[in-house]
Amino acid sequence: MADKLADGMQQGDDIALVIGGADGVSPAVLAKADAKLSLSALTLPHPLVRVVLMEQLYRAMSINNNHPYHRGN
C-alpha cells in the first residue's frame, strides 16, 4: 500500500477511496477502479472501516517518510 500511495502522489494522481456496503460495490464501480483494496474478509461497520483505513494510510505515509511508527518503536 505504501508503494502504491507513493507512486500515485508522485504522479500527482487524484486518489479516491470507496468503502463498499455489506455486499461490496457495484460492478460498474469496480470496472472504473485502477486498483482494489480489501482490508479484511470480514464485514465491518463503516465507522470501524474508516478508522482502520485511516490507520493504514497513516502507516503507509510513515513508511514512505522513514518514520518508525510502523515498527512499534
Take residue 68 and report the three cell numbers written for it. Answer: 518508525
Q: What is the pLDDT of residue 3?
A: 84
Q: What is the pLDDT of residue 72?
A: 58
Q: Where are the alpha helices (DSSP H) in the chain?
A: 2-10, 27-32, 46-64
For the segment 9-33, the average pLDDT, to the nearest whole number, is 89
pLDDT band at 71 (very low <50, low <70, confident <90, very high): low
Beta-bridge mates of residue 21: 24
Positive or negative CA dihedral for 35, 70, 55, 65? negative
In whole angstroms, what is the distance from residue 40 CA to residue 43 CA?
A: 8
